Amino acid sequence: MSSSALDKVFAGSIPKFYDEVLVPLIFAPYAGDLARRVASRAPARILEIAAGTGVVTRAMSAMLPPATTLVATDLNQAMLDTAAAVGTHGPVAWRQADAMALPFDDASFDVVVCQFGVMFFPDKAKAFAETRRVLRPGGAFLFNAWDRIEDNEFADVVTAALAVLFPDDPPRFLARTPHGYHDRAAIERDLGNGGFAAPARIETVAARSKAASPRIPALAYCEGTPLRSEIVARDAARLAEAIDFAGDAVAKRFGGGAVDGKIQAHIVTAER
């Protein structure tokens, strides 16, 4: 399987590490922010795409009135199974779905929300067109996307460390996909090509990523993302070594105790 194909596979042990280690490390600060933005619109029907293990779903469910209809989808059933097992404050309809071909009627939702998922869409303009199709007139598409990897310190350090460990074929998942869609002009162009005529509002928001030890960021990225698949594809016997090496690199940069690194993302609002 090619690297680009592996980028979208969140299966096996990945969902567990993703939810238990990666979510609190980098996703939780932005989940609350995105949920508050959605709740401020008082929508009656919400669609979440690329919901992952449900960090934003849980945040929205806790903030929204019980009568709100919340449908959470993801391409990977294993991620949804983990999300459903964790549970939510209110009712959520979990449904496996491809953002490129959403199985919903036209104009069926007031808001579509996506946290750190658009980077994985193979044809972003097509996915945005699908999003616009299921939005009612006057509805909004809210999503976020990671800024460049250099502004996300733990991811940058882990990627650089693995390039030293695998010099002939460095695992580049983090730079290629999660941090590969940071150009604001490209985002605006893809939204326009997807039919969003009004200029999007894009805010760049920095936050802090904190962990009790330098091993946690290494474990989060090397076990909780498809970076794991890239490492295993090179040499399955070296996964533990890769985690240790990445952890040592984080310790060298941030210290051997509790660590604190910068994270940064774009928050995008597109009106239909």
The domain total for the chain is 1
Distance CA 80, CA 97 (A): 10
What is the pLDDT confidence band of residue 10, given thresholds at 50, 70 and 90? confident
**Would you say the C-alpha torsion 146, 148, 153, 159 has a positive or negative sign?**
positive
Quick: pLDDT tens for 216-245.
999 999 999 999 999 999 999 999 999 999
Question: What's the CATH code of the domain at 204?
Answer: 3.40.50.150
Quick: pLDDT tens for 126-140.
999 999 999 999 999
Q: Domain of 216? A: 3-271
User: CB within 8 A of 106, min separation 6: which ones?
Assistant: 133, 134
Distance CA 125, CA 141 (A): 13
Contact 110, 45 (CB under 8 A): yes
Quick: pLDDT tens for 56-91.
999 999 999 999 999 999 999 999 999 999 999 999
Nearest to 256 by CA among 209, 215, 201: 215
Give the residue ranges of DSSP H helices in the chain: 3-6, 14-17, 28-39, 55-63, 77-86, 124-134, 153-165, 173-176, 184-193, 215-224, 227-235, 239-254
Q: Which residue has the tokens 């794991």?
A: 228
Contact 173, 226 (CB under 8 A): yes
Average pLDDT over the chain reads 95
Nearest to 71 by CA among 40, 30, 115, 113: 113
At what angle are helices 215-224 and 153-165 packed, to 10 degrees?
A: 70
Quick: pLDDT tens for 89-129.
999 999 999 999 999 999 999 999 999 999 999 999 999 99
Q: Which two tokens stand for residue 150?
A: 């250099």
For residue 178, CA distances in Å to 47, 148, 167, 189, 222 come to 22, 9, 21, 19, 14
